[in-house]
Amino acid sequence: MWGQFGNGARDRPERRQVIDIPEPRPVVTEHQAARKVCPVCQTVTAASLPPEVTQPVQFGPRTKAAAVYLQTYQLLPYERTVEALDDLFGVCPSEGTLARAQATAYTHLEPVEQVIGAALQRADIVHVDETGQRVAGRTEWVAKRVISTALLTFYAHHAKRGREATLAPRAGRVRVDAIGLLIGFAGRRVHDAWAPYLQLPGLYALCNAHLLRELTRTCSAVGPGVGLHEATGQAWAQKLIRLLVRMQAAVVAAQAAGQTELPAKQRAGYQAAYTRFLNEGLLANPPPKPTGKRGRPKQTPARNLLDRLVTHRGAILAFLHDFRVPFDNNQAERDLRMLKVKHKVSGCFRSPQGADQFCRIRGYMSTLRKQGYSVLEGLTSVFNGQPLMPRLEA
């Protein structure tokens, strides 16, 4: 009635939509191989079954992919993974089936992991970090050997954290580059000032977020939660904090404006201010006097920090000169965060093999997620025998 008078808005139906998911109902595919007997020689000829169908009853690729997804990506323990599969999809595999699915994915992803590692070695900038986890009842360094970019992730674990000395190896120390990717890496690595990283050859940049936290929140001589400026009353620390924040803001603003670098005069001004504040700090914190005893005299935390600020000046200010270099190492820290969640959920890995499996599969899933692929579809392709290959631009 209203429509004929041109009141289309009044006779337009009101629409509301309800989105739901289907009830769980597994899809069972039965394969039958015909058998024929020759009436003359009585020879039995049988058709061949698909090579992936090896058991009278088995779970398919999507079921295995969902199991690995829940365990390695959503970090569910074995028992809860079985419960989730039963509730969500109506299938109830055994924990042994889940363990075999993990082992299968680990094997099929070996070539993918190799090409991801090779792509990272060709990258201009990589982020590196480490964290500890319990493996087989002891602390091992899992996935803190993370090497990553915004598009690629590589995890590895090792029983030791340190690195043997360059000229005089000592027993009980293991190379930090045991995972291999940092050997011969020609780009710039971003990390904190952990000593084994500093011993590696090549370019590097230090995480300024760590430096700001050290300046503002930690001073071992006073206690946790006390900033260096508050603990010592030395103004140079607060000046340096403001300078670093101001430099970061200038770089961000220049990038937003489409610039590829800061003006030379502006960079020179920042570097001069950096030198000036360090000199103030060095005057306020002279080196300790000789004690007459063997060994290096103990320095204050402020002096140790100042020595690092002087020694690694180029690595600290690398972001100021090259816009490709980030201000911090947040990329690696984000990539490690879920490893700490894994530790809180399950406490440990029961074996080194389990840790290896987790690192390889998690690295693949992290890479897929960074590149916008479906993690579940990627895992399904793994169990179909043709893993989805991520883009390899580092």
Q: Which of 65, 146, 85, 189 is nearest to 360 (CA)?
A: 146
Separation of CA 34 from chain center: 50
Contact criterion met (CB below 8 Å) for 36 and 45: yes
Higher per-residue pLDDT: 263 or 199: 263
For residue 177, is pLDDT > 60? no
Q: Give residue 373's pLDDT.
A: 97
- pLDDT value of position 57: 81
Scanning 227-383, the segments in alpha helix (DSSP H) are 228-232, 235-256, 264-284, 301-311, 313-316, 318-321, 330-346, 352-370, 375-383
Instruction: Report strand pairing: 35-37 vs 44-46.
Output: antiparallel
Q: Per-residue pLDDT tens for 14-52?
A: 899 999 888 888 888 899 889 899 988 989 898 888 888
How far apart (Å, rounded) are the C-alpha atoms in residues 274 and 186? 28
Average pLDDT, integer, range 291-298: 77
| The pLDDT of residue 14 | 87
**Residue with structure tokens 């989805």?**
388
Q: Is the pLDDT of residue 226 over 60?
A: no
Comparing 109 with 348, the larger pLDDT belongs to 109
Cross-strand bridge partners of residue 281: none
Mean pLDDT, residues 381-387: 95
Residue 224 has what pLDDT? 47
Give the C-alpha distances (Å, rounded to integers) separating 196 from 162, 173, 339. Answer: 7, 11, 22
Nearest CA to 97 out of 57, 71, 64 is that of 64
Summarize pLDDT for 137-171 with one digit per residue, the tens. 666 554 457 899 999 999 987 766 555 422 233 33
- Quick check: 364 and 154 in contact, CB under 8 A? no
DSSP-assigned letters across all residues of 175-244: -GGGGSTTTT--SEEEE---HHHHHSSSEEEE-HHHHHHHHHTEETTTEET--HHHHH--HHHHHHHHHH
Q: Which residues are CB-contacts of 116 (< 8 A; sequence separation ≥ 6)?
A: 152, 153, 154, 363, 364, 367, 390, 392
Query: What pLDDT score does 164 carry?
Result: 41
